[in-house]
């Protein structure tokens, strides 16, 4: 059995190493605690709506799938508003909110590509960009910071959600194509903004 003194010695040896490795959040600098609040509950509702949306979509229930996706998209609007008004905009919310958005949007994009409603290259661009932004957030977390969503990223998310609603509701190729190109432009702009925001640090 390892003695208590030995355990303490190992603990004091490991914690400084996490700092030198850029893992400051393990040393307690990152507020990663979780508390079930209304904003957190809305985020979980958004995540749980994904399988329901997919089931309805693949069973040809376009109207119901559109309604579920629209309701899930609205939770993205309200969780941020509620979090700020109640002072509950924690590090967990900053991380989980955009992650839930990515899960919802990427799932819908893959479904729409499978149904032939959107080109595969578009989904690949969006998903690869999301992986890149997640990498930026991990890099920021390794430096003891939380990289929240940038303003252009919020517009980008809104454009992507509107695009998905238009595609699921089958509003016509002209509308879908227009929203697709708008989403691509905002994707490029928000990626550059995230890059500029993170690199100087």
Whole-Å CA distances, 90 to 14, 30, 72, 85, 157: 27, 11, 21, 12, 20
Taking the C-alpha atoms of residue 4 and residue 88, their distance in angstroms, rounded to an integer, is: 38
Whole-Å CA distances, 141 to 22, 103, 161, 184, 193: 9, 20, 27, 27, 18
Q: Are 88 and 138 in contact (CB under 8 A)?
A: no
Give residue-wise pLDDT tens across range 9-18: 444 444 344 3
Mean pLDDT of the region 44-56: 95
Domain boundaries, the chain: 1-28, 31-198
Fold of 31-198: 1.20.120
Taking the C-alpha atoms of residue 97 and residue 154, their distance in angstroms, rounded to an integer, is: 11
In the chain the first and final C-alpha atoms are separated, in Å, by 44
Q: What is the DSSP track for 77-134?
A: HHHHHHHHHTT---HHHHHHHHHHHHHHHHHHHHHHHHTTSS-HHHHHHHHHHHHHHH
Mean pLDDT of the region 65-89: 83
Taking the C-alpha atoms of residue 31 and residue 7, their distance in angstroms, rounded to an integer, is: 25
Give residue-wise pLDDT tens across range 126-160: 999 888 887 777 776 666 666 666 688 889 889 99
Q: Are 117 and 176 in contact (CB under 8 A)?
A: yes
User: Can you give the pLDDT at residue 36?
Assistant: 72
pTM of the entire predicted model = 0.75
Please return the burial class of 197, using the count of CB atoms within 10 Å of its CB with bins 0-12, 13-18 and 19+.
middle
User: Can you give the pLDDT at residue 179?
Assistant: 95
Percent of the chain with pLDDT over 90: 44
């Amino acid at each position: 059995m390892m003695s208590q003194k030995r355990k303490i010695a190992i603990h004091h040896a490991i914690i400084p190493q996490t700092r030198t490795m850029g893992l400051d959040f393990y040393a307690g600098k990152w507020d990663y605690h979780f508390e079930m609040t209304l904003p957190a509950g809305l985020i979980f509702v958004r995540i749980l709506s994904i399988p329901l949306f997919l089931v309805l979509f693949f069973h040809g229930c376009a109207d119901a799938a559109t309604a579920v996706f629209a309701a899930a998209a609205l939770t993205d609007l309200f969780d941020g508003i509620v979090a700020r008004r109640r002072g509950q905009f924690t590090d967990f919310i900053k991380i989980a909110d955009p992650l839930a958005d990515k899960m919802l949007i990427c799932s819908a994009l893959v479904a729409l590509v499978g149904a032939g409603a959107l080109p595969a290259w578009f989904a690949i661009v969006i998903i690869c960009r999301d992986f890149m932004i997640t990498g930026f957030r991990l890099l920021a977390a390794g430096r003891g910071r939380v990289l929240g969503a940038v303003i252009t990223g919020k517009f980008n998310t809104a454009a992507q959600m509107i695009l998905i609603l238009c595609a699921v509701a089958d509003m016509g190729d002209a509308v879908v194509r227009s929203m697709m190109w708008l989403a691509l432009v905002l994707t490029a702009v928000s990626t550059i903004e995230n890059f500029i925001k993170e690199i100087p640090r």
